[in-house]
Amino acid sequence: MRVRGITLLAAGIASLALVASPALSTSASAAPVGTVPASGTFSFSLANGILPTWASEDIIIVGVSPGTVTTAASNLSARVSVPIIAKTGSANAAAGGFRLYNSRTGMSVRCSNPTIDTRARLVDCVLPTGKNAALFTIKTIASRARVLGQSTITWIYKGLVLGINGQEMADMLNSALSTTSFSPYVNVGTGDLVVTRDR
């Protein structure tokens, strides 16, 4: 009886694991599971009104090499771009990053080595403390495509609408930068992601 009970318990635990495992991580992908070198670019343009709103609070955005921030001559918009260097399932790792800086107080928040996860729909950053934080949520993806080359695979995502990832993240940014400019209810920008790896 005891052996049978243990067998049933083990089977029950195994069944529970099979049911629960998909919910453990929204970014998990069955295949591929390994990290592979990749190339490409993640870039996004700030939404209308965002840059002037930040400027009114002395907030500026600058690139962290090899990432870049290109500001329009009108100072009404800016485009952030970072190079993709690796891919792990749906997570695409970039080099460099960007920094939000309060020119009045000198306070800043740096987003280093962002990871763009198209399954979890998050843009994750390494903060200056060394901790990871999901800075942006990807609200929608307008289109996606996969192109098979002779020796490569390329994924193309267009129209990624970005927003601050929840009220807690907005509060952190507002506190760190001495501002009230950040809200999870406003779109920050719209971007594109192109990733290529060997087949």
The percentage of the chain sitting over the pLDDT mark of 90, rounded to a whole number, equals: 81
**Per-residue confidence (pLDDT) for residue 66, from 0 to 100:** 98
Q: Residue 128: which pLDDT band, with cuts at 50, 70 and 90? A: confident
| Residue burial 84-111, b: 16+ Cβ < 10 Å; e: rest | bbbbbbbbbbbbbbbbbbbeeeebbbeb
**Per-residue confidence (pLDDT) for residue 32, from 0 to 100:** 47
Two structure tokens written together for 20: 């629960």
In single-letter form, the type of residue at position 60 comes to I
**Per-residue confidence (pLDDT) for residue 14, from 0 to 100:** 39
Sequence-separated (6 or more) residues with CB below 8 Å from residue 44: 79, 80, 160, 162, 188, 189, 190, 191, 192
> How much is the pTM?
0.82
Across all residues in the chain, what is the average pLDDT? 87
**Per-residue confidence (pLDDT) for residue 73, from 0 to 100:** 86
Least confident of 2-11, 54-63, 80-89: 2-11
What is the C-alpha separation between 178 and 169, in angstroms, rounded? 14
> CA 182, 156, 144, 31 torsion: positive or negative?
negative
Domain boundaries, the chain: 29-198
**What confidence tens digit (pLDDT) does each residue in 17-69 have?**
333 333 333 444 444 469 999 999 999 999 999 999 999 999 999 999 999 99
Q: Residue 105: which pLDDT band, with cuts at 50, 70 and 90? A: very high
